[in-house]
Structure 1
Amino acid sequence: MKFPCMKDMQPAIKEQPEIQMNEQAANLLQLILAKIHCKNEIVAVSGFRTQEEQEKIWNDTLAKSGLDFTKKYVAVPRHSEHQTGLAIDLAENKEQIDYICPHFPYTGICGEFRATAPRFGFVERYVSGKEQITGIGAEPWHFRYVGYPHSVIMAEKDMALEEYICFLKETTDLRHPYIYNSSKADKIEISYVFLDGGHSIKLDVSEMSPYMISGTNEGGAILSRWREYYAS
């Protein structure tokens, strides 16, 4: 997997220019904070990390807290979502912040953020009860940009990202998409596309409907197409 570099990033929160994210994800993160009228009650703890930074966090945590703790809360270098620029760790703004396991409660403005996030493409990535699926301990502070409407569908179906990709892979194809009704005049068709041996596949998008293609990093892609319709 090819990771982005720092020049492709921008500040996740304008007041913390040192913490960077993918540009689209950062813009939407700031929209969530504006939507919930957040002043400075929520702060960013960690965003995009280079390979060297991830290795240092892994090694420092290993030396300080041991292997079991490190494997539970720190991704192996080259396997961290932070290296994609799409993940952000957040914390309730307190005088003392734990930078490995920051406090981000399910109440107050942090709870408002969590409830609002899916409408802007973000999901709480590692929730309690999904550890055997994700391979990571519960991290209430870690949010991942997956894009709309995938974030809303995952929240509604209580699915981790691994479960969502598996669901699409097993139940959809280009002829039988999953239909998400986003409004009375709009629907989104979502299909999993298998890529055979890394070869490209030509898709017919001649109808000029808006579409988005997202890689899965496991030999496939997810095609989302916006269609107009009118519900009775």
Structure 2
Amino acid sequence: MKTLELSRNAIYSGSLILVNGKNPLREAVREIALVPVDEKNPSALMERQSARLLYSLIEEVRARERIVAVSGWRSKSEQTRIYKDSMAENGRDFTKKHIALPGCSEHHTGLAIDLAENKPDIDFIRPEFPYNGICHRFREKASNFGFVERYPEGKEYITGIAWEPWHFRYVGFPHSAIMQQQKMTLEEYHLFLTEHVCGTNPFVYQTNGRRIEISFQLAEKNSLTKIDVDDGALCFVSGNNTDGFIVTVWR
């Protein structure tokens, strides 16, 4: 048995952090941790692991020339500029639906990417990424590589953002597969996992002969949070950006 010791600040980082209008990003991403996802648009940056898996996903569906990255990581200052420009050009209602407030955008995490079908005159705010052709094939494979369509139709009242077929978020496998199968947003998935307490009743996901246990651990307020893990088990921990940790153990 081994024991992981996690500081309170660790709840603000990891591939499963929830960033939205109620939960701004607390820990700024260091630019040194970011890499370009597409040589056609070297300014579209992502966190290294998510960029590598996005590249592999696009290779898997043979879409190197047919799907392009439009917008990845954004600094708070860039998000502020985009928000102000949209307010001036598109008005308050449109902007509130499609542009997150500075500090509350998933694009700050380095885990989100806006994609477009490779056509002339791509719209930066609402790029076309339809549900047929190569974009359909991308969606079919996305969860295998840890990606989910973050803002699905019909869940606007939960996410606080309008339906965005072009916006994908890296959460990692098997979380992506569970969210897709259960038709959960990240908000719903976080709430679901609070019912599965670490060390008591983990959620179990089976795949390719592997047993994966996923659970929630509330963070200690004034001391290190300690999590016991069996020797030989592969364990990944992500903060949730609010009050605790999501623990994923592969057996």
Q: Same fold (TM over 0.5)?
A: yes
**Of 215, 224, 227, which aligns to 1:203?**
227
1:197 offset after TM fit, Å?
2.0
Structure 1 portions without partners, runs of 5+: 228-232
**Of 88, 93, 101, which aligns to 1:76?**
101
In 2, Cα distance between the equivalents of 1:2 and 1:96? 35
Which range moved further: 2-11 or 121-130? 2-11
Q: 1:108 to 1:89 in 2, by over 3 A?
A: same
Residue in 1 aligned with 2:55? 30
In 1, Cα distance between the equivalents of 2:97 and 2:234? 40
- Alignment of 1:170 with 2:195, yes or no, is yes
The RMSD of aligned alpha carbons is 1.1
Residue in 1 aligned with 2:250? 226
Structure 1 SS opposite 2:65: coil
1:206 offset after TM fit, Å?
4.3
Mapping for residues 173-192 of structure 1, pairs under 5 Å: 173-184=198-209, 186-192=210-216
Q: 1:129 to 1:199 in 2, by over 3 A?
A: farther
- Alignment of 1:135 with 2:171, yes or no, is no
In 2, Cα distance between the equivalents of 1:113 and 1:198? 44
In 2, Cα distance between the equivalents of 1:5 and 1:63? 30
**Of 184, 197, 201, which aligns to 1:159?**
184
Contact 2:40–2:68 (8 Å) recurs in 1: no
Normalising by the residue count of structure 2, what TM-score does the alignment of the two structures yield? 0.87
Residue in 1 aligned with 2:147? 122
Structure 2 portions without partners, runs of 5+: 1-25
Contact 1:126–1:137 (8 Å) recurs in 2: yes
> Using CA pairs below 8 Å that are at least 6 residues apart, which structure has the higher relative contact order?
2
Runs ≥4 residues deviating over 4 A: none
| Structure 1 residues 153-181: Cα deviation after superposition (integer angstroms, max 9, x where no partner) | 00000000000010010244322100000
Counterpart residue type for residue 146 of structure 1: V
| Structure 1 residues 9-41: Cα deviation after superposition (integer angstroms, max 9, x where no partner) | 001123322211100000000000010011311
Identity %: 47
Contact 1:198–1:219 (8 Å) recurs in 2: no
1:224 offset after TM fit, Å?
0.4
In 2, Cα distance between the equivalents of 1:139 and 1:49? 17
**Of 86, 106, 115, which aligns to 1:90?**
115
Residue in 1 aligned with 2:27? 2
Q: 1:57 to 1:198 in 2, by over 3 A?
A: farther
